[in-house]
């Protein structure tokens, strides 16, 4: 019986260790092994972005990362975006702008949007749409999501 | 997915040893954005995934204006377009690197992986061919180089032996008055696989085309290097009529199939349109680059 | 490419101002959803949970001769395997087909049809076990499009299915399940009177709702015989009742706990996984979770029909439509029941017609059984009808909005299928479109075109229940059974708050399970804010009456001298007698006990919704690529309880329509395989494919609802495909008659010109 691999990593600023089979994706490890179910599966092949996490400073689709690969890496999931009990301005902006309906794509969008604003604090509408093209939403038509990101950018620059 | 083992060598030597031992039952993973999808779909039957991302040579980006660019096989797209010097010197490569998939895919996918995956629709291969790229390969018998236009040998088939690993890609330094461009046609504005794509490069000399290279995606079992298109316009003035000679040859050279992404007729038609538009852009870039 | 520019602000043409209704508070489930805390179907965990996987037919049409599960059962880690043989046998009517769709019995009727399922220690083991199940198929020829299936020589799916031909049952097997007709006046005479008659044929392909969350369900068949189900569903009671029928157990034995749901659009009303998980759990004695892969979703759940339509419209030079004939044939998928009936009710609804005829055909094909997709049947019909309207308007030289205004349905118009319209807001929608800056903005480039189209959806009522309890601190808790896909917790709570004159924040809504609330129909049919909102309204009225009685009792006055305004109880006769809602709430315990309110409603005053689109496109004639430059949605919401979420419905439906228009389709091979079975090649719009979607909410109050609410969720998906087709026609001078109008089709149309 082949054995599991022991992985040590950093998730949302905390040291986390877990056991997994090499065939288990990071997405599976987060959800089924570690218990962080905020990252979602929509397609399992990199086409919908619902599984977006930040890994060593870049957003990736966690369905296409193996759990065994994240040894020694720094990962940020949706659970790590808020600052304790204070929502991140992007999270607050999504609520105020009604940028979610069913909410399943929302964790992926929030992680991806935060990554954008970290690198480009004043993006144009086109830059926002281009950056977020790997995240699918079927409920909102994207309008209020884009406005929420624009709104958050303004608030974050004012702060 | 069926069970796989995972190895993470830290040197080229170690990787070659692991691959040799695996006897064809292993594949190298860079970004994993193609490999993992293929493994889950049962496209490859292997027992071992060899992660190339901890091998220093596969992560290298070295550029200088004399020796050109050495790009490690596992370097992710975002690192390529995020490198100011490389982005300025090789806009043709950046065209592809910033188009593949979407932002998250570009956080992992590499041009080396795109090349080894060897699908006809690969976005990075036509510009790499247009830029005269070479593949640096390491194996148990030493190192060898293969021109990128010779690297893909069939659908998902490449020139690597099962005990060899692609280490890096090399591109000559850009010369003055040269320009390159890759464009593709997709039904949406991002995320799609190319219905057809054209990667071209030109070198101008006093308003004439000194040399040109044209390569096409998605219209043959492998990316197509249409040498005759570039040869036919060498020495001709860089104008619309000349461009249309090349784009017509490109259309005629295409051997597409009809599948869920496009028909034969549509793809042939697109080859002409895309080659023409890409050449026009490459010529504009060449004019700005002296 | 979408560029940065100024957009028109979204507009609400409000009919009445309220205190809470019409405002835009934050949704109560928002914090959980932006932090990843909210639990959706696949997030559910329980002790001893096993993972399941489903074996699906690779053949579009095949007889199942035998199923050998022995190798799967022998695999280490596998705990149970089930097939249709594990279902109760017998019964009659629709349940047989429902059961058959969940696990095939004698025939596989579409590629993706579930054949067997496994429960195992991990999802990977379950997947491996599924590949070890041996099925002996006798492969049959499939038929996968409606026109081929209607022909006499088509392979027959069901030997027992005979056409219901205008009410009479035929005597030989057919793939045409039924043909019905609606007749008004005399279309033959009407066409004779026309100066212009246009007749066109149209086809559409199968498309999927495309919800981002695949189906997921966990079942525990407990030792006491009770079946517990945790799932993503648009209707916990619908799921409960479907499982009761399929498993042949009483509804009282089943409790469905709805988790958060990641999109449905009609596609999560039917059950697929729940009965299978239940059978597996019965065998293992533990909870079993089944989650669909994206391929399972596309191949194994219900998309919306491909279809064929022929529309003929005649009009006089002065713009009066004299006759209209709509022939609609829609694919039901593997079992009868396409939405052609609904399409027939909507196709001509915007027009006041003296002479009209609608023929509807329900046809089975070897594709997944279709399920509802947002105004099911109506978009297919509108793609056809609204293009012919456009062509007729052009032929007589009339502006397309003026032409619709001239023939506009209004209060008192009798629809082709019988009912007359009560007060509706269609003319107001047309006026808002005509006067919108978008309609009057110049186009500024070659290969650009503008198109308009309208649509109607009748909306539904049906049963909803609501309970409210008053807390001692002056807040109220509200329980309701409508799963929240789009912000309805908020809109329902707002209606209760309005009645109780409380601020929205004082109402705490919860979506509860089937043991905890009275029967509530699905979150679908654009009914939730209308009907469950009504239940909340009635339950709040119940609380209000009881609170007034209690205040009167405490003050020892007559109840009809007490009123509630701005959260304060006052005596009309004695200004000294006054207390706040919170003060009274704090005294309930010692003045006679707590106060709760309840209601179970099935409101009949449903108001239909009209929607209109204005869209500008630019076509690249060399590639056929169509860019959406500008998109405006105008819709009559009756009363927008929460305007942001109404705008959201309008924008979301519009974008689904854009995807349907330009790219989405099931690309079927001759063997009946969907080749593009992933989100890479089933191409839904990305953020980069769109501009902002501007909205105008028209409010013509529905007289049948206390706040005037009309359902809003479905109408938005109806006009986009014809509006875009009309815009493309204006851009390139050629009309497209088939969906999708993808680049290859548009390029071909340009070249063939």
Alpha helices in C530-604 (DSSP H): 533-555, 581-587
**Residues C270, C391 share a domain:** no
C471 in Cβ contact with C500 (< 8 Å): no
**Min CA distance, A76 vs chain B (Å)?**
14
Q: Are residues C701 and C737 in the same domain?
A: yes
Cross-chain residue pair A42–C26, CB shorter than 8 Å: no
- Tokens representing C583 are 């003060």
C647 touches chain A (CB under 8 A): yes
Where residue C107 sits, what CATH number does that domain have?
3.90.1170.50
Which residues from A are below 8 Å from C649, CB to CB? Answer: 101
Tell me the C-alpha distance between B84 and B101, whole Å. 21
**Residues β-bridged to residue C364:** C333
Which residue from A minimizes the CA distance to B52? A69
What residue in A sits closest to B100 (Cα-Cα)?
A: A134
* pLDDT at res. B289: 85
What gap in Å lies between CA A40 and CA A18, rounded to an integer? 19
As a whole number, mean pLDDT of residues A79-90 equals: 97
- Could you tell me if C436 and C512 lie in one domain? no
Peptide bond just before C740 cis, omega within 30 deg? yes
Number of domains composing chain C: 3
The residue of chain C nearest to residue A49, with distances taken between CA atoms, is C212
For A141, the closest of C29, C487, C652 (CB atoms) is C652
How many Å apart are CA C372 and CA C133, to the nearest integer? 32
Does one domain contain both C274 and C348? no
CB distance B104–A65 less than 8 Å? no
3-state secondary structure of A101: coil
CB of B280 within 8 A of CB of B243?
Answer: yes
Residue C220 and residue C122 share a domain: yes
Looking at the structure, tell me whether residues C438 and C549 fall in a common domain.
no
- By CB atoms closer than 10 A (0-12, 13-18, 19+), residue B139 is middle
pLDDT, averaged across chain B:
97
Instruction: Establish if C10 belongs to a structural domain.
Output: no
Say if C117 falls within a structural domain.
yes
Please check whether residue B2 touches A, CB under 8 A: yes
Which of residues 37 through 76 in chain A touch C, CB cutoff 8 A?
37-45, 47-48, 50
What average pLDDT does range C86-92 have in this prediction? 90
Residue C164 within a domain: no
Domain end position, chosen among C569, C601, C633: C601
| Whether residue C428 has pLDDT greater than 50 | yes
* C-alpha distance from residue C258 to each of B219, C269, C654, C734 (Å): 49, 12, 28, 48
Both C545 and C489 in a single domain?
yes
C253 part of a folded domain:
yes
B104/A contact by beta carbon, under 8 A: yes
Mean predicted confidence (pLDDT) in B30-41: 97
State both tokens at C408: 């506009």
- Would you say residue C419 lies in a domain? yes
Give the pLDDT mean for C716-737. Answer: 98
Q: Quick one: C499 and C576 in the same domain?
A: yes
3-state secondary structure C627-694: EEEEEEEEEECCCCCCHHHHHHHHHHHHHHHHHHHHCCCCCECCCCCECCCCCCCCCCCCHHHCCCEE
The DSSP bridge pattern shows strands B61-64 and B68-72 to be antiparallel
C194 domain residue, yes or no: no
**Would you place residue C32 in the very low, low, confident or very high pLDDT band (cuts 50, 70, 90)?**
very high
Find which of B43, B51, B80, B103 to mutate to test the A interface (most A CBs within 10 Å of its CB): B103
**Neighbour count for residue C138 (Cβ, 10 Å):** 11
3-state secondary structure of B183: strand
**Mean residue pLDDT across chain C:** 97
Domains and their CATH numbers in chain A? 5-80 (3.10.20.30), 89-158 (1.10.150.120)
Cβ pair C210:A79 closer than 8 A: no
Using a CB–CB cutoff of 8 Å, tell me whether C261 touches chain A.
yes
CATH number for the domain including C322? 3.30.365.10
- CB atoms A133 and C686 under 8 Å: yes
Best mutation target, B37, B266, B277, to test chain C (most C CBs within 10 A): B266
pLDDT in tens, B94-130: 999 999 999 999 999 999 999 999 999 999 999 999 9
Please tell me the distance from the alpha carbon of residue B138 to that of residue B141, in angstroms, as a whole number. Answer: 8
Q: Domain check: are C487 and C433 in the same one?
A: no
Going along chain B from its start, the domains and CATH numbers come out as 5-51 (3.30.43), 56-171 (3.30.465.10), 178-288 (3.30.390.50)
Work out the pLDDT band at C346, boundaries 50, 70, 90: very high
Give me the residues of A, 60-119, that contact B with CB < 8 A: 60-61, 63-66, 68-69, 112
Do C485 and C594 fall within a single domain? Answer: yes
**Percent of chain B's residues with pLDDT above 90:** 99
Q: Which residues contact C43 (CB under 8 A, 6 or more apart)?
A: A31, A37, C259
Structural domain including C68 reads 42-141+215-291
Task: Evaluate if residue C3 carries a pLDDT over 50.
Answer: no
Contact A87 C260 (CB under 8 A): no
Q: Are C665 and C527 part of one and the same domain?
A: no
Q: Are C346 and C384 in contact (CB under 8 A)?
A: no
Touching check for C276 and chain B: CB below 8 Å? no
Does residue C12 sit within a domain?
no
CB atoms within 10 A of CB A84: 5
Q: How many CB pairs under 8 A join A and C?
A: 193
pLDDT computed for residue C712 by the predictor: 96
The verdict on C327 and C391 lying in the same domain is: yes
Residues C372-395, mean pLDDT to the nearest whole number? 98
With a cut of 90, say whether residue B89 has pLDDT above it: yes
What residues of C are in contact with residue A35 (Cβ under 8 Å)?
45
Torsion, Cα of B32, B35, B41, B45 (10° steps): -130
- Is the complex ipTM more than 0.95? yes
pLDDT above 50: residue C1: no
Residue C150 placed within a domain: no
* Domain end among C291, C322, C348: C291
Does B56 reach chain A within 8 Å, measured CB to CB? no
Distance CA C249, CA C95 (A): 13
Helix (H, G, I), strand (E, B) or coil at B198: strand
pLDDT band of residue A1 (cuts 50, 70, 90) is low
How far is the C-alpha of C207 from the C-alpha of C658, rounded, in Å? Answer: 12
Rounded (5°) CA angle C231-C237-C239:
50
The per-residue pLDDT for range C166-214, each reduced to its tens digit, is 999 999 999 999 999 999 999 999 999 999 999 999 999 999 999 999 9
Beta strands C693-698; C11-13: pairing state: parallel
């Amino acid at each position: 019986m082949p054995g599991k691999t022991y992985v040590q990593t950093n998730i949302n600023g905390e040291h986390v260790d877990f056991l997994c089979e090499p065939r288990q994706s990071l997405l599976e490890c987060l959800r089924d092994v570690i218990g962080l179910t905020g990252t979602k599966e929509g397609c399992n092949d990199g086409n919908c972005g619902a599984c977006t996490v930040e890994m060593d400073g870049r957003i990736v689709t966690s369905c296409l990362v193996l759990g065994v690969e994240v040894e020694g890496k720094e990962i940020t999931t949706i659970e790590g975006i808020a600052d304790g009990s204070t929502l991140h301005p992007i999270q607050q902006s999504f609520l105020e702008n009604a940028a979610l309906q069913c909410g399943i794509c929302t964790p992926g969008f929030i992680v991806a949007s935060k990554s954008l604003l970290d690198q480009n604090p004043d993006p144009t509408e086109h830059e926002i749409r281009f950056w977020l093209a790997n995240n699918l939403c079927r409920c909102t038509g994207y309008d209020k999501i884009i406005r929420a990101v624009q709104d958050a950018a303004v608030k974050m620059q004012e702060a | 997915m069926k069970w796989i083992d995972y190895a993470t060598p830290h040197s080229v030597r170690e990787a070659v040893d692991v691959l040799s031992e695996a006897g064809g039952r292993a594949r190298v993973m860079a970004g994993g954005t193609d490999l993992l999808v293929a493994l889950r779909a049962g496209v490859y039957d292997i027992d071992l995934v060899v992660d190339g991302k901890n091998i220093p040579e596969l992560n290298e980006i070295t550029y200088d204006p004399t020796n050109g660019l050495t790009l490690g096989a596992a370097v992710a797209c975002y690192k390529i377009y995020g490198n100011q010097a490389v982005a300025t010197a090789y806009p043709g490569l950046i065209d592809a690197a910033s188009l593949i998939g979407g932002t998250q895919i570009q956080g992992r996918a590499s041009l080396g992986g795109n090349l080894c995956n060897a699908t006809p629709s690969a976005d990075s291969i036509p510009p790499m061919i247009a830029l005269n790229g070479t593949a640096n390969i390491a194996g148990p018998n030493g190192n060898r180089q293969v021109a990128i236009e010779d690297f893909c040998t069939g659908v998902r088939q490449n020139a690597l032996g099962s005990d060899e690993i692609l280490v890096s890609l090399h591109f000559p330094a850009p010369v003055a008055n040269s320009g390159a461009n890759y464009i593709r046609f997709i039904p949406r504005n991002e995320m799609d696989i190319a219905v057809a794509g054209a990667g071209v490069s030109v070198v101008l000399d006093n308003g004439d085309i000194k040399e040109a290279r044209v390569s096409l995606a998605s219209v043959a079992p492998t990316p197509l290097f249409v040498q005759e298109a570039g040869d036919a316009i060498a020495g001709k003035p860089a104008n619309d009529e000349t461009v249309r000679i090349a784009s017509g040859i490109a259309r005629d050279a295409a051997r597409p199939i009809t599948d869920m992404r496009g028909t034969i007729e549509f793809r042939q038609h697109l080859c002409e349109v895309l080659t023409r538009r890409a050449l026009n852009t490459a010529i504009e870039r060449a004019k700005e680059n002296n | 490419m979408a560029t940065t520019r100024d957009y028109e602000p979204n507009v609400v043409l409000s009919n009445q101002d309220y205190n809470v209704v019409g405002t835009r508070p934050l949704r109560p489930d928002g914090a959980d959803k932006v932090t990843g805390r909210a639990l959706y179907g696949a997030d559910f965990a329980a002790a001893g949970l096993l993972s399941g996987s489903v074996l699906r037919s690779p053949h579009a049409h095949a007889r199942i001769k035998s199923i050998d599960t022995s190798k799967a059962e022998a695999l280490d880690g596998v705990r149970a395997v089930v097939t249709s043989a594990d279902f109760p046998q017998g019964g009659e009517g629709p349940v047989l087909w429902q059961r058959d769709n969940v696990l095939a019995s004698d025939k596989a009727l579409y590629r993706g049809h579930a054949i067997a399922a496994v429960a195992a220690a991990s999802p990977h083991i379950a997947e491996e076990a599924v590949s070890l199940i041996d099925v002996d198929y006798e492969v049959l020829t499939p038929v996968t499009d409606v026109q081929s299936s209607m022909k006499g020589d088509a392979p027959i799916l069901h030997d027992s299915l005979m056409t219901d031909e205008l009410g009479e049952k035929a005597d030989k097997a057919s793939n045409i399940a039924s043909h019905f007709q609606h007749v008004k006046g005399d279309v033959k005479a009407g066409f004779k009177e026309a100066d212009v008659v246009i007749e066109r044929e149209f086809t559409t392909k199968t498309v999927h709702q495309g919800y981002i969350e695949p189906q997921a369900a966990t079942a525990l068949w407990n030792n006491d015989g009770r079946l517990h189900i945790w799932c993503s569903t648009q209707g916990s009671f619908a799921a409960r009742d479907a499982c009761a029928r399929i498993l042949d157990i009483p509804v009282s034995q089943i409790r469905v706990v709805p988790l958060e749901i990641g999109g449905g659009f009609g596609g999560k009303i039917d059950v697929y996984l729940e009965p299978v998980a239940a059978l597996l759990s019965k065998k293992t004695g533990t909870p079993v979770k089944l989650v669909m892969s994206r391929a399972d979703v596309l191949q194994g759940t219900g998309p919306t029909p491909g279809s064929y339509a022929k529309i003929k419209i005649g009009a006089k030079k002065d713009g009066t439509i004299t006759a209209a004939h709509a022939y609609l044939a829609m694919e039901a998928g593997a079992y009868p029941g396409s939405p052609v009936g609904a399409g027939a009710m909507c196709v001509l609804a915007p027009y006041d017609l003296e002479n009209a005829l609608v023929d509807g055909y329900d046809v089975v094909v070897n594709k997944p059984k279709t399920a509802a997709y947002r105004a099911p049947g109506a978009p297919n019909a509108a793609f056809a009808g609204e293009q012919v309207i456009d062509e007729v308007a052009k032929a007589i030289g009339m502006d397309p909005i003026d032409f619709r205004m001239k023939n506009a349905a209004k209060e008192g118009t009798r629809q082709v299928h019988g009912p007359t319209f009560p007060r509706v807001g269609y003319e107001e929608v047309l006026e808002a479109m005509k006067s919108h800056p978008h309609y009057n903005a110049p186009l500024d480039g070659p290969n650009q075109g503008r198109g308009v189209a309208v649509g109607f959806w009748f909306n539904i009522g049906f049963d909803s229940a609501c309970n409210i309890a008053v807390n001692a601190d002056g807040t109220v808790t509200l329980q309701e059974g409508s799963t929240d896909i789009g912000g309805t917790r908020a809109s329902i709570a707002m209606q209760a708050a309005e009645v109780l004159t409380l601020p929205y924040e004082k109402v705490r809504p919860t979506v509860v399970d089937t043991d905890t609330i009275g029967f509530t129909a699905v979150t679908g049919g654009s009914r939730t804010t209308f009907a469950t909102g009504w239940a909340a309204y009635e339950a709040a009225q119940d609380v209000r009456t009881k609170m007034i009685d209690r205040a009167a009792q405490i003050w020892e006055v007559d109840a009809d001298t007490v009123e509630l305004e701005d959260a304060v109880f006052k005596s009309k006769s004695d200004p000294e007698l006054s207390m706040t809602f919170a003060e009274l709430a704090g005294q309930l315990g010692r003045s006679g006990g707590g106060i709760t309110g309840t209601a179970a409603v099935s409101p009949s005053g449903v108001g239909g919704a009209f929607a209109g689109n204005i869209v500008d496109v630019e076509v690249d004639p060399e590639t056929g690529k169509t860019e959406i430059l500008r998109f405006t949605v105008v819709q009559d919401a009756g009363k927008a309880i929460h305007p942001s979420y109404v705008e959201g419905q309008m924008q979301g439906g519009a974008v689904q329509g854009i995807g349907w228009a330009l790219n989405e389709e099931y690309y079927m091979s001759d063997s009946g395989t969907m080749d593009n079975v992933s989100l890479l090649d089933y191409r839904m719009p990305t953020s980069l494919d769109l501009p902002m979607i501007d909205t105008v909410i028209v409010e013509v109050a529905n007289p049948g609802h206390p706040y005037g609410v009309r359902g809003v969720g479905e109408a938005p998906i109806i006009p986009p495909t014809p509006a875009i087709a009309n815009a493309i026609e204006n851009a390139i001078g050629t009309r497209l008659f088939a969906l999708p109008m993808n680049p290859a089709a548009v390029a071909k149309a340009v070249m063939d010109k």
